[in-house]
Structure 1
Amino acid sequence: MHLDNAVNKSTNPRPGQVYNWPDGPDVYKGIPKHYTGQEVNPTNVLAVLRGDQSLKHRGKKVLESGPLDNIFVYLMTHGGPQVLAFPYGGYLFAKDIIATFKDMYANRRYRQLVIHVEACESGSMFQNIMPPDIGVYAVASSQPTQMSRVAGYDSKLMDFTAGYFAITWLNHTEDRHRELLDDQFDYIRSQTAKDYYDPYTGLKWHQNAGHYGNLSIGRLDIGQFEGPKPYKIATGGDSDHHNDDEHRETVSMRDVQVVVAEKRLLLAVSTSDKLRAIDQLKHQLLGRQLVNKLFEQFAGVVGQLLSTTTTTMTTGLDSQLLVDQELVSNCYELFVNTFQSKCFNMNKNPYVLGKLNVFVNICEHLTARQLAIALNQLVGQCETTNAIVGH
């Protein structure tokens, strides 16, 4: 599954090719196109894992595994508290992918399953949720309240080419197929936990990988899940290439659009290029300003409804909704889907995903009657702040 939208993009300096590190080799040739474009959505992801026969009858590939098979899954996208965002088809919620794993386990669709997820707050997809007894070993690129980073800035492409987590485990996998998953996790954690200084706040933070589920699977060889033979990952460098001075920079996945706009402004030579870069940067920053204002106002309105403070709603980040808290989990999903459909397409600006903790906190305080009122207030708030649409 891949969007397949980069190979012929106008900004691609190497048309017809895709590379995952500056000056790296082409990794596009021979890549299957089972699901591309709008087919890459949460519904299809879960259907493929379940081996959905209706997809198969339409000529699409699905997982046809049995009780002796090991499965490896890798997902990279933007994320928020217990949710992964897709460019098409909405969002993949933690409770849905966990339910799919439970169904697969009950129907003996695998022996063991390993999943790597690279997204901001990806640990929230599994922490306190993933059962230890369904044969799943999950590795998340960051803790439940942490952002994940990208790396490999390419000055020709004027964009970042790789996820920091992905480039770390992919390069470690080279010629290490007989090492243990635990060994790889320790390496990933040691590399991604290096200090990162936020250019906007000046604060230091870390990206700490986490592992969840049946941790005993970590004592198995990597090759049992990622292939039995040593092979070369086409990343254009050795396992420590992401520490080279030229490509050392890493930024939060949510800040990529702003950082890229800033770089374009700094590199612009002509007046027209500078004005264009200023417009792009202004567009991003005004969008963030509007998002901040919308959530602050909404938190204030709901705070009055609940007789609590705006600070209670907007701080004290807690993305640890438990699956057995069915009402709270359903409430959160309602808010996310309502915001997406009535207010703002979060896929256009992943910065918004960092505000979803407001919905988490609100849902932990609402009664069923108050939920309907709060949802109506959210829609009304968006209508009065309609300038946010398109930012």
Structure 2
Amino acid sequence: MKLAGRCLPCVPDHEEGGLKDENIIVFMYDDIAHSPENPRPGVIINHPKGGDVYAGVPKDYTGREVTVHNFFAVLLGNKTAVSGGSGKVVDSGPNDHIFVFYSDHGGPGVLGMPTYPYLYGDDLVDVLKKKHAAGTYKSLVFYLEACESGSIFEGMLPNDINVYATTASNAEESSWGTYCPGEFPEPPPEYDTCLGDLYSVAWMEDSDVHNLRTESLKQQYKLVKDRTSIHDTFNFGSHVMQYGSLDLSAQHLFTYIGSNPANDNATFVEDNSLPLFSKAVNQRDADLVYFWQKYRKLAEGAREKNDARKELLEVMAHRSHVDNSVELIGNLIFGSENGPNVLKAIRVAGKPLVDDWSCLKSTVRAFESQCGSLAQYGMKHMRSFANICNAGIRPDAFSKVAAQACTSVPANPWSSIHKGFSA
């Protein structure tokens, strides 16, 4: 069975691949195709010369139905726990193979959701352990696109529950957007945004051209790793990682995502003839690319340009507020000399981000209560909050310091404290 995250429209054609709709479950916020900002209403593309990848995609959970609660209930096959949507769940058995593609913003130990709360690494790994204990799959492959996505599995995903995971980045770096304005190839001129993510585009475009009946997960991993790192130069790009039951990587991709019959005679090319990217955009700045392009294109003096300018300035103000607030809190707790070092400290490879995940979530709630929403940009500071917990600072003590640091919260929507908490 195949379970997809909110960006399934980016997935290779499921009908060509021989996958039946009843074996696919789609979580998709569905705010792109019919957005007034979309230059091609009703159409989504993920390549500068690509066709529509939105039409015909089954949509099971959309909008406010895309929640951590529903995602876990669906993955566990718990029909009674699902709220809204199609009600479809991964009703799998001991001989089934499951593929999960999850794409969203992320930060150390956390994955974005279009609704609060966000998804935390310990909770996801616990659900995968429960799924294994229930004996309801033979193997499970998890492809994860997000910043610091390696931190979701680093030091936590067991290697004996038949789960194989690859991630767009390691535990301490951003992932990257591609097919962005100013790149080559760049999106059609009417687009002001990146069309895809470096890692995701790499595995999807590889799947489009190879015979997945003979290509293994390991072969694709190596190609994606090479393309995403720009031949290991890291002029831009990230470290694609793998975790869990690595022996599963010997299996063919067809077992998990099908294969286009048109590629049945294709020969696997070790060095991959797919083009490298001319450059890419750090995923944390992808929204700035959009806001800047939108502002730049509008005519001087137009009301819309003033609105776009205000939007851009609000985004920048939110970023500055979050960065400054976290830095000040660190200085107040650890002193101005030690604060920056404590907040930025990175644990040795193979060790989880934080010892006490409950402390991390409570600390995040305390910050948002006093300083406003982290939003997707602020997720980058999760490591700072984790390090504060690892240093023995309890959430109640943290809250008092946060109240000192954040005497006011910007009024713009990015800093709102009225949308709930991300933890």
Which range, TM-score by smaller chain? 0.7 to 0.9
Cα deviation 1:247-284 (Å, max 9, x = unaligned) = x4411111012222333344344332554443333222
Paired amino acid for 1:251:
V
Distance 1:51 1:231, change over 3 A: farther
Q: Distance in 2 between matches of 1:214 and 1:300?
A: 41
Q: Distance in 2 between matches of 1:72 and 1:285?
A: 37
Question: 1:192 maps to which residue?
Answer: 228
Question: 1:373 maps to which residue?
Answer: 397
Give the counterpart of 2:115 among 69, 88, 91. Answer: 88
TM-score where L is the length of structure 1: 0.86
Q: 2:198, 2:237 within 8 Å by CA — same for their partners in 1?
A: no
Please state whether the residue corresponding to 2:42 is helix, strand or coil: coil
Q: 1:13, 1:156 within 8 Å by CA — same for their partners in 2?
A: yes
Q: Displacement of 1:338 after TM fit?
A: 3.3
Distance 1:364 1:156, change over 3 A: same
Question: 1:303 maps to which residue?
Answer: 334
Question: 2:17 maps to which residue?
Answer: none
Q: Displacement of 1:130 after TM fit?
A: 0.7
Question: 1:108 maps to which residue?
Answer: 135
Is 1:9 aligned with 2:35?
A: yes
Paired amino acid for 1:278:
R
Give the counterpart of 2:409 among 375, 386, 389. Answer: 386
Please state whether the residue corresponding to 1:46 is helix, strand or coil: helix
Question: 1:129 maps to which residue?
Answer: 156
Is 1:157 aligned with 2:191?
A: yes
Question: 1:314 maps to which residue?
Answer: 343
Distance 1:170 1:286, change over 3 A: same
Q: Displacement of 1:230 after TM fit?
A: 3.8
Q: Distance in 2 between matches of 1:388 and 1:353?
A: 20
Paired amino acid for 2:329:
F
Question: 2:54 maps to which residue?
Answer: 28
Q: Distance in 1 between matches of 2:403 and 2:133?
A: 40
Please state whether the residue corresponding to 1:30 is helix, strand or coil: coil
Q: Distance in 1 between matches of 2:257 and 2:195?
A: 22
For structure 1, which segment, 108-117 or 315-324, has the greater mean C-alpha deviation from structure 2 after superposition? 315-324
Q: Displacement of 1:56 after TM fit?
A: 6.3
Q: Displacement of 1:73 after TM fit?
A: 0.1
Q: Distance in 1 between matches of 2:215 and 2:223?
A: 11
Q: Distance in 2 between matches of 1:227 and 1:388?
A: 49
Question: 2:317 maps to which residue?
Answer: 286
Q: Distance in 1 between matches of 2:348 and 2:147?
A: 12
Gaps of 5+ in 1: 198-202, 233-238
Question: 2:290 maps to which residue?
Answer: 260
Q: 1:145, 1:319 within 8 Å by CA — same for their partners in 2?
A: no
Cα deviation 1:286-341 (Å, max 9, x = unaligned) = 2222112111111122225xx98222333223497956975x22211212233345
Please state whether the residue corresponding to 1:386 is helix, strand or coil: coil
Gaps of 5+ in 2: 1-26, 181-186, 264-271, 415-423
Please state whether the residue corresponding to 1:131 is helix, strand or coil: coil
Q: 1:19, 1:26 within 8 Å by CA — same for their partners in 2?
A: yes
Paired amino acid for 1:127:
E
Q: 1:82, 1:319 within 8 Å by CA — same for their partners in 2?
A: no
Q: Distance in 1 between matches of 2:154 and 2:403?
A: 31
Point out the structure with the larger helix share.
1
Give the counterpart of 1:219 among 240, 244, 250. Answer: 250
Distance 1:231 1:356, change over 3 A: farther
Q: Distance in 1 between matches of 2:256 and 2:299?
A: 49
Please state whether the residue corresponding to 1:160 is helix, strand or coil: coil
Q: Distance in 1 between matches of 2:37 and 2:353?
A: 46
Paired amino acid for 2:218:
D
Please state whether the residue corresponding to 1:139 is helix, strand or coil: strand
Question: 1:235 maps to which residue?
Answer: none
Q: How does 1:49-88 map to 2 (within 5 A)?
A: 49-55=75-81, 60-88=87-115
Cα deviation 1:153-196 (Å, max 9, x = unaligned) = 33312111111111110111123312110000000000000289
Q: Distance in 2 between matches of 1:37 and 1:173?
A: 28
Q: Displacement of 1:113 after TM fit?
A: 0.3
Q: 2:325, 2:371 within 8 Å by CA — same for their partners in 1?
A: no
Q: 1:142, 1:208 within 8 Å by CA — same for their partners in 2?
A: yes
Q: Distance in 1 between matches of 2:321 and 2:109?
A: 24
Q: 1:265, 1:274 within 8 Å by CA — same for their partners in 2?
A: yes
Q: Distance in 1 between matches of 2:116 and 2:243?
A: 27
Q: 1:151, 1:160 within 8 Å by CA — same for their partners in 2?
A: yes
TM-score where L is the length of structure 2: 0.80
Please state whether the residue corresponding to 1:116 is helix, strand or coil: strand
Same amino acid, percent of matched pairs? 27
Q: Displacement of 1:379 after TM fit?
A: 4.4
Question: 1:176 maps to which residue?
Answer: 211
- Residues paired across the two proteins, number: 369
For structure 1, which segment, 86-95 or 223-232, has the greater mean C-alpha deviation from structure 2 after superposition? 223-232
Distance 1:321 1:139, change over 3 A: closer
Distance 1:138 1:196, change over 3 A: closer
Question: 1:200 maps to which residue?
Answer: none
Question: 2:7 maps to which residue?
Answer: none
Q: Displacement of 1:85 after TM fit?
A: 1.4
